[in-house]
Amino acid sequence: MINFSLNLKTRIHFGKGAISNLISELMPYKRILLVTGSGSVKKYGIYDTVMTELSTAEKEVFELSGIKPNPSIDSVYAGIKICRENNIEFILALGGGSVIDAAKAIAAGMVYKGDVWELFLDDSKFNGALKTGCILTIAATGSESNKNSVITNEKTKEKLGLRNEALRPEFAILDPTYTYTLSSVQTSASIADIMSHVFEQYFSPTKDAYMTDRLSESVLKTCIKFAPVLLKDPENYEARAEIMWASTIALNGLLSFGKITDWASHMIEHELSAYYDLNHGIGLAILFPNWMKRVADESRLWKFRDFAINVWGFSPTLGDRDLADVSIQKTREFFNGLNLPSKLSEVNIDDKYFEIMSENVIRRKMNGTFKVLDKEDIMEIYRLSL
Amino acid sequence: MINFSLNLKTRIHFGKGAISNLISELMPYKRILLVTGSGSVKKYGIYDTVMTELSTAEKEVFELSGIKPNPSIDSVYAGIKICRENNIEFILALGGGSVIDAAKAIAAGMVYKGDVWELFLDDSKFNGALKTGCILTIAATGSESNKNSVITNEKTKEKLGLRNEALRPEFAILDPTYTYTLSSVQTSASIADIMSHVFEQYFSPTKDAYMTDRLSESVLKTCIKFAPVLLKDPENYEARAEIMWASTIALNGLLSFGKITDWASHMIEHELSAYYDLNHGIGLAILFPNWMKRVADESRLWKFRDFAINVWGFSPTLGDRDLADVSIQKTREFFNGLNLPSKLSEVNIDDKYFEIMSENVIRRKMNGTFKVLDKEDIMEIYRLSL
């Protein structure tokens, strides 16, 4: 187990009606920026509920709406402008991971005097952030309780992350009923995203983090059990609750405790999202089984053995090679069973940028740890995914 | 899954050498009360390491030493006196759960104007606490990152808990090497304590907390795997690290997420500790298999089924009754295999106070939820344990 510091400060309020905790959480603040997405929160009434709470508590609310998936740096600039003009004290995100990531970037940009994008290029320039909180409406990214913000710069075709403890939200309101209206494909893509976060931490060169790995398997088994339930019954409270809590645990730091992590697949996907308008979860569902296939050589079969037996329930009597093969195949079939695209060609992506995207992953030194990928490895993962 | 609020604010610094984080954690404070136990920290050099750090950082250190297992309210009074006379700003606990619990009680007593014991009798009187941090030397109680303090009043023969978010330590330094010198019986009793914390949350009337239960099983499996390693090799870093992290996760709130919890066995043990000088972990190792035996009737076999299959690896082809019986037997054998006493008579406890202790558990309304115990149930659990 490697040394580790862990800070899980985000206060979680979980369950139907958890919004009742909003006002006490916002007590110290008067001037609030509310960040929202594409409008579904308005369509389904959650926005009205939140605005009523804020108005009852006599908050001065300023709004930034229209944050899109793969949130753009331009929307972050717009948020910073509102904050500066109105002396905003607190940023409240109402939405999914993209909205929360945008809120965090705005919070950092309020404190940083230069162009906030510089922080994404060089995080040593980070010098603090406004406090944030969130009301989650899509369970996927784990952004509700972690220190990460991922922002896309459309001009430079870069999708980059910023990580700092100061970006961890003060609180997260997790009401599973807020995710009832997600479409089948949104739900499935979100679950693929959650599982991929676990994979990035589970498939690691660290061999001696026993409990952490068992915790990871618990989260994967939860996704595997409840994803099919939601395909048939999108308003199943228990299934929505389990998936929502899984999304938080998957990426709050608990599953990387004592471990080196990988994250190459995320960078390989980030390159795709930077060049194409691709849903992050769908990209990961397409890429991950092919990443597994590429890295599952002799020296790494030990990990696939755990994965096959403990997550997928295969028999320990099978050999390591077989266990790797069946677990990878099972993962692929599972994502297919969630009605997600299984090939990049299905989402109109061809091999045009494979070479430059592969070079970008290497250049950013985000080419993995479980297997340190070279350019040919990454090219091959893209090609297998075509 | 029931509604839940969760606050895991304690910053964890984990691993060999984690003490290097102490000074930055103590930055805002000048006048510090250092609380320690029976002297083993001095014997093994940890005390010197800590004092050197504190002295380098020019802290003014006041000391309260000699905190005993089942810490007494008198030691808490002594700590409050030192704090008040010296305008202490921060309380640093160096030791195991007893030392940390005493530090928390002192922290509460510094703010409360009346007799601090009143808070244990009526927690509605709680009105804040000084900040605390800890350096852990025994992995058992989980006190290093939770909001609980358990204190014994020898005069009134009461062992009571106080729970409040303000009691959660600001930070916990967890260096597994600090537990190398624990005796075999201390190690085994600590592991029994950790497992019993999981049992209190795992055996619950809540049927729909799937992921939480899988996380609990992960912690139990970790204890089961590494306890025998430590019996043979007390300086095995990985085993000490896994057990230390298990102790924290077992009782920081994660394993009760979305669940009603039980805690009757702890109250049954607290009564024993209040009347006799009994090690908490040993008491729980004796009592728990007998609690299981008493509550494993038809309506609760579903839970023992999970326990038998997922924790102990029994075959799902066995019937529910058989699975309950074998899992209880296996639990009993496991504790025996750790060289712990298996009967109260072995630790010089007879049936003299069984009736009054049973009545006390009922009177305090801590008689469980998985099965709501009546007086006869509790009497029988004591008798089975004789």
* B114-128 pLDDT tens trace: 999 999 999 999 999
Report residue A127's pLDDT band, with 50, 70 and 90 as the boundaries.
Answer: very high
| Whether pLDDT at A356 is above 90 | yes
A302 contacts chain B (CB < 8 A) = no
> Residue A326 has what pLDDT?
98
What is the C-alpha to C-alpha distance for residues A352 and B141, in angstroms, rounded to an integer? Answer: 58
Predicted complex ipTM exceeds 0.85: yes
> Residue A121 has what pLDDT?
96
Q: Mind listing the pLDDT tens digit for each residue in B28-58?
A: 999 999 999 988 888 888 999 999 999 999 9
What is the C-alpha to C-alpha distance for residues B288 and B304, in angstroms, rounded to an integer? Answer: 14
Q: Mind listing the pLDDT tens digit for each residue in A283-325?
A: 999 999 999 999 999 999 999 999 999 999 999 999 999 999 9
Contact check, Cβ <8 Å, B225/A210? yes
Contact check, Cβ <8 Å, B222/A245? no
The CATH number of domain A183-385 is 1.10.3720.10: no
Contact check, Cβ <8 Å, A211/B13? no
> Which residues in chain B touch residue A15, judged by CB atoms under 8 angstroms apart?
1-4, 258
In the block, residue with structure tokens 């970008």? A360
Count of residues in chain A: 386
| DSSP codes, A152-207 | EETTTTEEEEEE-GGGS-SEEEE-GGGGTT--HHHHHHHHHHHHHHHHHHHS-S--
| Whether pLDDT at A247 is above 90 | yes
User: What is the average pLDDT across B143-163?
Assistant: 94
CA distances from B70 to A313, B37, B67, B345 (A): 44, 11, 9, 20
Q: For the domain A11-178, what is the CATH code?
A: 3.40.50.1970
> Which residues in chain A touch residue B218, judged by CB atoms under 8 angstroms apart?
211, 214-215, 217-218
In three-state form (DSSP H/G/I as H, E/B as E, the rest C), the secondary structure along chain B is: CCCEEEEEEEEEEECCCHHHHHHHHHCCCCEEEEEECCCHHHHCCHHHHHHHHHHHCCCEEEEECCCCCCCEHHHHHHHHHHHHHHCCCEEEEEECHHHHHHHHHHHHHHHCCCCCHHHHHCHHHCCCCCEEEEEECCCCCCHHHCCEEEEEECCCCEEEEEECHHHCCCEEEECHHHHCCCCHHHHHHHHHHHHHHHHHHHCCCCCCCHHHHHHHHHHHHHHHHHHHHHHHCCCCHHHHHHHHHHHHHHCCCHHHCCCCCCCHHHHHHHHHHHHCCCCHHHHHHHHHHHHHHHHCCHHHHHHHHHHHHHHCCCCCCCCHHHHHHHHHHHHHHHHHHCCCCCCHHHHCCCCCCHHHHHHHHHHCCCCCCCCCCCHHHHHHHHHHHC
| Whether pLDDT at A4 is above 90 | no
User: What is the average pLDDT across B136-156?
Assistant: 95
Contact check, Cβ <8 Å, B3/A12? no
Nearest to A230 by CA among A260, A266, A186, A169: A186
A104 contacts A167 by C-beta, under 8 angstroms: yes
Residue of chain A whose Cα is closest to the Cα of B9? A9
Q: Mind listing the pLDDT tens digit for each residue in B178-218?
A: 999 999 999 999 999 999 999 999 999 999 999 999 999 99
Facing residue for A3 by CB, picked from B1, B16, B217: B16
A66 contacts A38 by C-beta, under 8 angstroms: yes
B215 contacts chain A (CB < 8 A) = yes
Gap from A286 CA to chain B (nearest CA, Å)? 26
> Residue A43 has what pLDDT?
84
State the amino acid at position B99 in one-letter form: V
B18 contacts chain A (CB < 8 A) = yes
Interface test with B, best of A2, A4, A7, A8 (most B CBs within 10 A): A8
Range of lowest pLDDT (A102-116, B36-50, B129-143): B36-50
> Residue A25 has what pLDDT?
97
Gap from A218 CA to chain B (nearest CA, Å)? 5
Residue of chain A whose Cα is closest to the Cα of B3? A15
Gap from A72 CA to chain B (nearest CA, Å)? 31
Report residue A150's pLDDT band, with 50, 70 and 90 as the boundaries.
Answer: very high
Nearest to B255 by CA among B205, B208, B199: B199
In the block, residue with structure tokens 């009994």? B278
Residue A115 DSSP one-character state: -
B178 contacts chain A (CB < 8 A) = no
In chain B, the largest separation of any two C-alpha atoms, in whole Å, equals: 66
Q: Mind listing the pLDDT tens digit for each residue in B302-326?
A: 999 999 999 999 999 999 999 999 9
Residue of chain A whose Cα is closest to the Cα of B211? A222
What is the C-alpha to C-alpha distance for residues A49 and B124, in angstroms, rounded to an integer? Answer: 32
CA distances from A217 to A7, A195, A203, A255, B255 (A): 22, 10, 11, 10, 15
Query: What percent of chain B has a predicted confidence (pLDDT) above 70?
Result: 100
Report residue A173's pLDDT band, with 50, 70 and 90 as the boundaries.
Answer: very high
User: What is the average pLDDT across B125-149?
Assistant: 96
| Whether pLDDT at A38 is above 90 | no
Facing residue for A241 by CB, picked from B1, B221, B241: B1
Sign, CA dihedral A370-B247-A174-A93, equals negative
Q: Do B11-178 and B182-385 come out as alike in CATH topology?
A: no
What is the C-alpha to C-alpha distance for residues A19 and B37, in angstroms, rounded to an integer? Answer: 44
Strand partners, B174: B14, B136
Q: Please name the fold of domain B182-385.
A: Dehydroquinate synthase-like, alpha domain (1.20.1090)
| Whether pLDDT at A277 is above 90 | no
> Which residues in chain B touch residue A311, judged by CB atoms under 8 angstroms apart?
none
Q: Residue A34: helix, strand or coil by DSSP?
A: strand
Range of lowest pLDDT (A267-276, B228-237, B282-291): A267-276
> Residue A7 has what pLDDT?
84
A4 contacts chain B (CB < 8 A) = yes
Facing residue for A3 by CB, picked from B18, B225, B257: B18
- CA A38 to chain CA mean position, Å: 18
What is the bridge-based pairing of β-strands B158-163 and B148-153? antiparallel
Neighbours of A165 (CB within 10 A): 12
In the block, residue with structure tokens 């990531």? A101
| Whether pLDDT at B343 is above 90 | yes
A282 contacts A341 by C-beta, under 8 angstroms: yes
> Residue B38 has what pLDDT?
84
Q: What residue ranges do the domains of chain B occupy?
A: 11-178, 182-385
A:233-272 residues touching chain B, CB 8 A cutoff: 238, 241-242, 245-246, 249, 254, 257-258
> Residue B274 has what pLDDT?
85
Q: Mind listing the pLDDT tens digit for each residue in A193-234?
A: 999 999 999 999 999 999 999 999 999 999 999 999 999 999
Gap from A380 CA to chain B (nearest CA, Å)? 35
- Chains A, B: CB contacts under 8 A, how many? 113
- CA B357 to chain CA mean position, Å: 21
What is the C-alpha to C-alpha distance for residues B60 and B76, in angstroms, rounded to an integer? Answer: 20
User: Burial level of B385, CB count in 10 A (0-12/13-18/19+)?
Assistant: buried
